[in-house]
């Protein structure tokens, strides 16, 4: 990060005071948790000030990784003692995504569904607490802010939206929330430092980032139809477990598998097959704005490819992405 540890101490104190003043003694806030570092640390921070006036929701959008909803809810309950409502919206979300191939169309649909779930949650909550919750906690980081909307005066060539990250400015104005975004000026490793100061367990702090639109940005084209999402979940789980086994997880900024919209010819047993191709990606990065592909040793690559093809019968080819950002982005979509 740009600042030293002691400064994060100060940032934390400042934010706690600012939030107390902004929300006052009666205000209620909502936080949509993604299970990632940013929203988890943001919620933990705000919870310190608001206690039971903070209301957290976790949406299962059908685009989560292997057993992710269960695992995340378990961690919130048993390690963070954050009360969280889990809303299962997977069926509706996948119906909505059916037939959509364009990256931005997928992101927009996911954003719109998310807003629906969110409005519902808020309406229910208003009934429960007998008044309107008017504050919204978001774990927006500085790179999210500049990638979604470059500051005025920035180079014209780059002043278009690179990707519509739906967690930035994604909620329509008519929801009329006052935003609490304690990390708008921070980089991810600074948020990790704040999380440590708040006692968030290391396993959470070190989690790789995961995009809001989830596996929808890791299946190229239409995410529905067939078993694409399940194949991807299985491959991703094997990949990440192998990375952990080799002791590489903490060296890597983000690692994941991508489901490609092609089939390739292979030979498995005595059979010629015409099956799925998956790409593996792993990058190192300081802030997600630029990234280098991770130089795995051949032993690792051989092992992981063997495991994937042995365990996931419908995959007959594994490729490794050797592109940095730029010219690529980290995600493929």
**CA-to-CA distance for 266 and 101, rounded, in angstroms?**
26
Q: Compute the least distance from the CB of residue 56 to ligand XMP, in Å.
A: 17
Residue placing its CB nearer to ligand XMP in the complex, 88 or 331: 331
Q: Compute the least distance from the CB of residue 203 to ligand XMP, in Å.
A: 19
**Residue 250 annotated in ligand binding:** no
Q: In what order do the strands lie in the sheet with 178-180?
A: 84-88, 54-60, 29-33, 135-137, 178-180
Q: Compute the least distance from the CB of residue 159 to ligand XMP, in Å.
A: 16
Residue placing its CB nearer to ligand XMP in the complex, 1 or 209: 209
Are the C-beta atoms of residues 138 and 179 closer than 8 Å to each other?
Answer: yes
Closest by Cα among 295, 280, 281, 284 to 250: 284
The angle formed by the CA atoms of residues 294, 295 and 300, to the nearest 5 degrees, is 105
Residue placing its CB nearer to ligand XMP in the complex, 28 or 165: 165
**Residue 24 annotated in ligand binding:** no
Residue placing its CB nearer to ligand XMP in the complex, 201 or 209: 209
Closest by Cα among 72, 150, 87 to 122: 87
Residue placing its CB nearer to ligand XMP in the complex, 47 or 107: 107
Per-residue CA distances from 76 to 56, 71, 263 (Å): 10, 9, 39
**Residue 36 annotated in ligand binding:** yes
**Residue 285 annotated in ligand binding:** no
Are the C-beta atoms of residues 54 and 46 closer than 8 Å to each other?
Answer: yes
Closest by Cα among 196, 110, 191, 214 to 143: 191
Q: Compute the least distance from the CB of residue 130 to ligand XMP, in Å.
A: 33
Q: Compute the least distance from the CB of residue 289 to ligand XMP, in Å.
A: 7
Are the C-beta atoms of residues 98 and 225 closer than 8 Å to each other?
Answer: yes
Q: Residue 266: beta bridge partners?
A: 273
Residue placing its CB nearer to ligand XMP in the complex, 219 or 330: 330
Cα 79 versus chain centre, distance: 20
Q: Compute the least distance from the CB of residue 10 to ligand XMP, in Å.
A: 27
Are the C-beta atoms of residues 163 and 329 closer than 8 Å to each other?
Answer: yes
Query: Largest Cα–Cα distance in the chain?
Result: 71
**Residue 34 annotated in ligand binding:** yes
**Residue 37 annotated in ligand binding:** yes
**Residue 247 annotated in ligand binding:** no
Residue placing its CB nearer to ligand XMP in the complex, 140 or 316: 140
Q: Compute the least distance from the CB of residue 333 to ligand XMP, in Å.
A: 8
Q: Which spans of this chain sit near ligand XMP (rule: CB under 6 A)?
A: 107, 163, 165-167, 209, 211-213, 217, 254, 288, 325, 329-331
Residues in the annotated binding site for ATP: 34-40
Binding site, annotated residues:
34-40
């Amino acid at each position: 990060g740009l600042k030293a540890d002691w400064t994060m101490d100060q940032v934390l104190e400042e934010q706690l005071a600012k939030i107390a003043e902004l929300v006052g003694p009666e205000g209620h806030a909502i936080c949509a948790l993604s299970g990632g570092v940013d929203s988890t640390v943001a919620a933990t921070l705000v919870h310190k000030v608001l206690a039971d006036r903070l209301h957290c929701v976790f949406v299962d959008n059908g685009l989560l990784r292997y057993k992710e909803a269960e695992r995340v809810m378990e961690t919130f309950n048993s390690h963070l003692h954050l009360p969280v409502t889990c809303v299962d919206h997977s069926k509706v979300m996948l119906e909505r995504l059916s037939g959509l191939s364009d990256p931005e169309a997928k992101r927009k649909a996911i954003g719109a569904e998310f807003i629906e779930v969110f409005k519902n949650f808020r309406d229910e909550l208003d009934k429960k607490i007998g008044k309107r919750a008017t504050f919204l906690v978001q774990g927006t980081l500085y790179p999210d802010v500049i990638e979604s909307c470059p500051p005025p005066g920035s180079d014209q060539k780059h002043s278009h939206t690179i990707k519509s990250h739906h967690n930035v400015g994604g909620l329509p104005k008519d929801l009329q929330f006052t935003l609490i975004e304690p990390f708008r000026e921070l980089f991810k490793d600074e948020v990790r430092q704040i999380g440590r100061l708040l006692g968030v367990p290391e396993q959470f702090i070190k989690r790789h980032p995961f995009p809001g639109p989830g596996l929808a940005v890791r299946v190229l084209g239409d995410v529905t139809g067939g078993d694409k999402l399940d194949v991807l979940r299985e491959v991703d789980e094997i990949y990440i477990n192998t990375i952990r086994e080799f002791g590489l997880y903490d060296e890597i900024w983000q690692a994941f598998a991508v489901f490609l919209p092609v089939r390739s010819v292979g030979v498995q047993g005595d059979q010629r097959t015409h099956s799925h191709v998956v790409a593996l990606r792993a990058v190192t990065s300081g802030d997600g704005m630029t990234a280098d592909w991770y130089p795995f040793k051949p032993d690792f690559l051989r092992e992981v490819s063997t495991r994937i093809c042995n365990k996931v019968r419908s995959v007959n080819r594994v490729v490794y992405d050797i592109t940095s950002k730029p010219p690529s982005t980290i995600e493929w979509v």
